[in-house]
Amino acid sequence: MHIIKENDRYIEFSNRMSVGLRIMLFLFGLLPLFAPYELLIKPRWTGFSLFALLPIIISLGAIAVSVFFLAAALIGLDGVVRFERKKRIVVYGRKALCVRYQESHYSMSDIRSFEIEEREWTDGPKYYVLAMIVRGGKKISFGEFSAQVSAAQYREKLEAAVKGK
């Protein structure tokens, strides 16, 4: 879930994966594991034959899908980008369920530019994210906006904050 908090001291963009979503992804990750059980273990295959090839391929696919969902549940990143106006720093923090919190600090003088990036999925509307380019060329993407106008408004606010206005 993307949340934007703004007050006189800071503008904060956070992206957090809820516990409910993590649990749902974890449970969805367990479901495909029934395929190898039903196709390979339950029938008690005693050896390899051509008839076993299709169940093996299906089971490998099911295991790959399980790994994907379980990884999304356990490794899905939560992130925060906070622009602190008075301290003139940017705090970029990220963590996952299995990874401890990591934080990077950038001076506002390290920020080179802001960009608006358009993202599009095949089965959903396009959306826009802000990207901050810091010294050294590192790009940090944050925020999610349904309209380009909203992204442009926040880009202007951030550019003003960087200039000290």
Are residues 79 and 99 in contact, defined by beta-carbon separation less than 8 angstroms?
no
Fold of 2-17+76-163: PH-domain like (2.30.29)
Q: Share the mean pLDDT of the chain.
A: 90
pLDDT of residue 49: 78
Other Cβ atoms within 10 Å of 50 Cβ, number? 6
SS3 94: strand
| 44 confidence band (pLDDT: 50, 70, 90) | confident
Asked if 128 and 116 count as a contact pair (C-beta separation under 8 A), the reply is: yes
User: Where exactly are the structural domains of the chain?
Assistant: 2-17+76-163, 22-75
| pLDDT per position as a tens digit, 71-82 | 988 888 889 999
Query: How many CA atoms lie less than 13 Å away from 139 in the CB half-sphere?
Result: 8
pLDDT given for residue 113 in this prediction = 94
What is the enclosing helix (H) or strand (E) of 127?
Answer: strand 127-134
Predicted model pTM? 0.73
Residue 155 near residue 114 (C-beta atoms within 8 A):
yes
